[in-house]
Structure 1
């Protein structure tokens, strides 16, 4: 069995270009795998602490997954701009705009892909169309990607550093000092509370309470992928540009890895110190969260380079290469499958609830059963994604 697994992994890695940096592919695959794992427990009532998001201020490992992916988007963008034939900026922007529109549309599709067949009074128009959530994970990636392309095309290294500082600075200026008011005329400023911040007020005012994730938050409904918090998320992506620039320098691999380690340690250390005055918060995407997540992403990339490209311990990365090669398709198919598990019924229960209570919970218990369900979901997903990988099918937007 182990010999067969080894051959399987060798076949995957054998098809990759010899000069390709395996570490980035492995990190991308690890990130999307972790995202699907935490999004698909057997039961949301039984999830181990590290696989949950922080309730508000602070962070867990799960909170790092999305910003990791955004930093990787920035790294991939920088590398692709260098590899492809030089195009006019207008043509690159046109392609970026089209790609962003497709990503945004896919995000809306996932929002709308649900119907509650068990409720005879369910109204799709009222409960989905009229209350559609306009922002989300793919929608944020779309907006961040488009803005980062503009910065990548028109800013050099110093300009990119200035852009990061400006994005975080403008974000903080409004969060700290811009006054905002409730419908009753109560004035606030400088708040970082659940449902009470400039970012929450902006989402509530512009998007509307019916079109955000936290609809019942008070005094303002808001979205964790909201409008104002997109600014520091762009800073994450621009940081990815700079990390990729570092990898493209003439330094040897050891020097590059040491540089990533140094940057990662300093960024995490500064973020944790900053937390005392500016809380690390994913839902608000505070600049301290930007520093923390970018720092840990640099450390994770350094670890992958050390294992894959320096020590040549490569076999472990093969499954993640499969997942990472088709990250958007993987995310979409996992989202559709998860929704189908909630839509299809066995008796009066959703198929997912029935599988958990009838199979996984009796066999493995509450928490282990919920985790086992998520791992089974990944294993079945791998069969499909590997089938796509073998046939060279890559879903591009």
Structure 2
């Protein structure tokens, strides 16, 4: 094991902020873990999303990844570089991410149903939005904002991206198909963002197709602007690193500032909850504060431990995930779908594995978690083969 960890660390380029790759590794590994339980009927509460208002550790994962997207945008320019003019390189990355998200949306076939119509189900009813599509849209929007705006302007933009969509949800009236007028509703299937999704995306092209009175997508149109505020907060946090000196004392001050800022954001977001509910689907301002605060606390902790104290060996495996995050996400998505596509008896290969291997040994909830961990271990082996050969899948 020690030799394995040393081989991982030996391939880290000098001068690279290892804490950022680790943070990305935590985000993507956690995302894969919660997305691949043995059975969705048996998931421990912390590994499931909050049913509506409120938050769980799982609700922090996607915002953490978007926060790291903002961090990486700054780091890609170097310590003294400026943000480039937005051109084909940025648009190509965004379009590839969006296309990969659409690929996952159509990558399914129900072999157990002889009457299954793939074109009708997957192509005509394609889900336009999703995790990768949201990352793509947030990324390209933030590329323009960081190019156009100074630091204070980015702070204002982060606030507006969060507050304006929330204000629209509170004050803009909207009408159901039956003619009923609503305003300021924040219920599942009944909020302004849901109405907008049904109008812009269509009820056949969203995740919650049967929601009433409005079908909507948890990665919908309006709340994507709110998600951009999370990315911008990652940009702002890293701009502080960029402007700080490189000596140890300055690094400690920066780390302390991140800790203070992260703690304040979590506290303020939690205090706002009775008035502005913490809600991932609505990506509310309080949700932005809490999740960005947690992200900043994690970044401060990793920065202190790994980049200042240089205690790296124990966390080294996360690098294997962090440097190939999109490859891991795609691998997990494809394998996860294949497992439910392959028929075994009256069920699927995934159901058979869970019911005959994991559930009898570990129980229902333990077996579901053990299945997810086993998938992560297998994926780690694949990612390690890519890492040791220096194969980095850059989108």
Report the TM-score, using the length of structure 2 for normalisation. 0.97
Q: Which residue of 1 is the match for residue 191 of structure 2?
A: 197
Deviations 1:122-148 (A, max 9, x none): 110111111110000000000000000
Q: Pick from 366, 369, 375: which aligns with 2:367?
A: 369
Q: Pick from 112, 115, 121: which aligns with 2:109?
A: 115
Find the aligned partners of 1:88 and 1:321 in 2 and give their Cα distance.
27
Find the aligned partners of 2:149 and 2:106 in 1 and give their Cα distance.
37
Deviations 1:38-73 (A, max 9, x none): 000111111100000000000000000000000000
CA apart distance, 1:100: 0.6
Q: Which moved more, 1:161-170 or 1:254-263?
A: 161-170
Q: Pick from 2, 9, 26: which aligns with 1:6?
A: 2
Q: Which residue of 1 is the match for residue 24 of structure 2?
A: 28
Deviations 1:12-41 (A, max 9, x none): 112212322211111110110000000001
Q: Pick from 376, 391, 394: which aligns with 2:392?
A: 394
Q: What SS does the aligned partner of 1:116 have?
A: coil
Q: Which residue of 2 is the match for residue 241 of structure 1?
A: 235
Q: Pick from 72, 77, 80: which aligns with 2:73?
A: 77
Deviations 1:217-274 (A, max 9, x none): 1110100000000111001111111011111122422111101100001000100011
Query: Do residues 181 (structure 1) and 179 (structure 2) align?
Result: no
Where in structure 2 are there 5+ consecutive unaligned residues?
A: none
Q: Which residue of 2 is the match for residue 159 of structure 1?
A: 153
Q: Which residue of 1 is the match for residue 200 of structure 2?
A: 206
Find the aligned partners of 1:87 and 1:330 in 2 and give their Cα distance.
28
Q: How many residues get paired?
A: 391
Q: Which residue of 1 is the match for residue 163 of structure 2?
A: 169
Q: Which moved more, 1:53-62 or 1:242-251?
A: 242-251
CA apart distance, 1:86: 6.5
CA contact (8 A) 2:19 2:302 kept: yes
Q: Pick from 120, 127, 130: which aligns with 1:133?
A: 127
Q: What SS does the aligned partner of 1:81 have?
A: coil
Where in structure 1 are there 5+ consecutive unaligned residues?
A: none
CA contact (8 A) 1:103 1:141 kept: yes
CA contact (8 A) 2:79 2:242 kept: no
CA contact (8 A) 2:84 2:147 kept: no
Q: What SS does the aligned partner of 1:229 have?
A: helix
CA contact (8 A) 2:63 2:291 kept: yes
CA contact (8 A) 1:282 1:289 kept: yes
CA apart distance, 1:362: 0.8
CA contact (8 A) 1:268 1:296 kept: yes
Q: Which residue of 2 is the match for residue 218 of structure 1?
A: 212
The RMSD of aligned alpha carbons is 1.3
Query: Do residues 42 (structure 1) and 38 (structure 2) align?
Result: yes
Change (3 A) 1:331 1:83: farther
CA apart distance, 1:315: 1.1
Find the aligned partners of 1:84 and 1:94 in 2 and give their Cα distance.
23
Change (3 A) 1:88 1:9: closer
Q: What SS does the aligned partner of 1:26 have?
A: helix
Q: Which residue of 2 is the match for residue 341 of structure 1?
A: 339
Q: Which residue of 2 is the match for residue 257 of structure 1?
A: 255
Q: Which residue of 2 is the match for residue 385 of structure 1?
A: 383
Find the aligned partners of 1:183 and 1:371 in 2 and give their Cα distance.
42
Q: Which moved more, 1:268-277 or 1:79-88?
A: 79-88
CA contact (8 A) 1:93 1:149 kept: no
Query: Do residues 52 (structure 1) and 48 (structure 2) align?
Result: yes
Query: Do residues 93 (structure 1) and 83 (structure 2) align?
Result: no
Q: What SS does the aligned partner of 1:303 have?
A: helix
CA apart distance, 1:83: 6.3
Map 1:288-303; keep pairs closer than 5 Å.
Answer: 288-303=286-301
Change (3 A) 1:83 1:33: same
CA apart distance, 1:85: 7.2
CA apart distance, 1:82: 3.3
Find the aligned partners of 1:204 and 1:306 in 2 and give their Cα distance.
46
Q: Which residue of 2 is the match for residue 228 of structure 1?
A: 222
CA contact (8 A) 1:111 1:132 kept: yes
Change (3 A) 1:66 1:17: same
Change (3 A) 1:188 1:221: same
Map 1:136-147; keep pairs closer than 5 Å.
Answer: 136-147=130-141
Q: Which moved more, 1:308-317 or 1:348-357?
A: 308-317
